Amino acid sequence: MFYWRDQGLCGSRFCVSGCHHTSYQVIPFLQGILKKLPVHIKKVKVRADSGFFSLEFLGFLMRCAIEFYVVVPLQPWVQKKIYELKSWKPIGGGVEVGEGKYVCQEGKVLRLVVIRKKLKLGESPKKQLKLFPVDEARYDYQVIITNSELVAEEAWRFYNKRACCENFIKEGIYGFGLDKVISHHYAGNYAYFELLMLGYNVMNWFKEQVLNQKKVKEMMQRIREKFLLIPACRVRISGRLILRQEKSWFYRKEYTEALARFT
């Protein structure tokens, strides 16, 4: 699964200084990634935010037979299509889904999955829809263009799973210093990045195999607080210096169980 942040295509030879649009060099970047995929991977899916919506990018994804879910900016033509929708399906939590069609330049018909969420009293929409009557401003809208066969609700839920990538990035930044640039040389920064990723992967293995965190993994800062910052005092017993843990330490049981799995 591929996901790009708005700041640009960092981590590749196409990394830019921030003066380019989000989708700058996205096609050659994706081509490079596809070449590196193991041969046994036959199906690729792409999730991308509105910064990557373009006919050129969509055309490339279709030619490569890639299943995609891309957010569409709420431009006037999109607002018109939303306004034309008459059928909405409630899915709970004040959220409703609808579906429209979009014919791209290559003559292929793509689906527009439209999600609207009813605003609470006093809330304002994230984006004012100029083509809508005042009473229609009671909703926040999101539009996803896709070539998948998932029903509208499932397509939206699948796209939303990309949000977990933000946690991976946050873990890399706050847990491993991923946002630091230590050298003026590309090779040095490249090696630093690879070492960080090695540490990140080893820590994930440690969380799963030693801490038994299979489904929900704690952040690195939390791991440090629980298993590295251990309250103890140095005492002398029979002429030997030993480190004695605090008996009232809250995480003693978890620590002992983890130590047993590790050894």
Predicted pLDDT of residue 258: 87
One domain, residues 220 and 92: no
Strand 95-103 relative to strand 89-92, pairing? antiparallel
Strand 232-237 relative to strand 240-245, pairing? antiparallel
Tokens 């990140």 belong to 200
Angle at 32 between CA 10 and CA 36, to 5 degrees: 110
pLDDT band for position 12 (cuts 50, 70, 90) = very low
One domain, residues 163 and 95: yes
One domain, residues 36 and 118: yes
What is the rounded CA–CA span in Å between residue 208 and residue 251?
18
In a domain, 205, yes or no: yes
One domain, residues 195 and 258: yes
In a domain, 32, yes or no: yes
pLDDT tens-digit series, residues 185-219 = 888 988 998 999 899 999 989 998 888 888 888 88
One domain, residues 128 and 189: no
For 126, residues 6+ apart whose C-beta sits below 8 A from its C-beta are 140
What is the rounded CA–CA span in Å between residue 211 and residue 224?
13
Tokens of 160: 């939303």
Please answer whether residues 190 and 183 qualify as being in contact, where contact means their C-beta atoms are separated by less than 8 angstroms: no
| Average pLDDT value for the chain | 83
What is the rounded CA–CA span in Å between residue 22 and residue 216?
31
- Reference 52, options 162, 174, 181; nearest CA is 162
Q: Which residues pair with residue 99 across a beta bridge? A: 113
In a domain, 187, yes or no: yes
In a domain, 12, yes or no: no
Q: Which domain does 151 fall in, by range?
A: 26-167
16 pLDDT higher than 50: no
In a domain, 70, yes or no: yes
Give whole-number Cα distances, 95 to 69, 150, 232, in Å. Answer: 19, 18, 52
DSSP letter (8 states) at residue 80: H
pLDDT band for position 127 (cuts 50, 70, 90) = low
R_g (Cα) of the chain, nearest Å: 25
In a domain, 17, yes or no: no
Considering its fold, how many domains does the chain have in total? 2
One domain, residues 160 and 42: yes
Q: Which of 14-18, 200-204, 234-238 has the lowest mean pLDDT?
A: 14-18
13 pLDDT higher than 50: no
What is the rounded CA–CA span in Å between residue 230 and residue 246?
8
> Is 146 in a helix, a strand, or coil?
strand
Strand 45-48 relative to strand 89-92, pairing? unpaired
For 45, residues 6+ apart whose C-beta sits below 8 A from its C-beta are 1, 66, 67, 68, 69
One domain, residues 152 and 198: no
Q: Average pLDDT for residues 113-122, to the nearest whole number?
A: 84
Q: Which of 67-76, 94-103, 149-158, 241-250 has the lowest mean pLDDT?
A: 241-250
Predicted pLDDT of residue 66: 94
Predicted pLDDT of residue 198: 92
Q: Average pLDDT for residues 225-251, to the nearest whole number?
A: 86
What is the rounded CA–CA span in Å between residue 154 and residue 152?
6
What is the rounded CA–CA span in Å between residue 102 and residue 15?
32
In a domain, 9, yes or no: no
Please answer whether residues 258 and 211 qualify as being in contact, where contact means their C-beta atoms are separated by less than 8 angstroms: yes
What is the rounded CA–CA span in Å between residue 230 and residue 68?
47
Break the chain down into helix, strand, coil percent, rounded to 5: 40, 20, 40
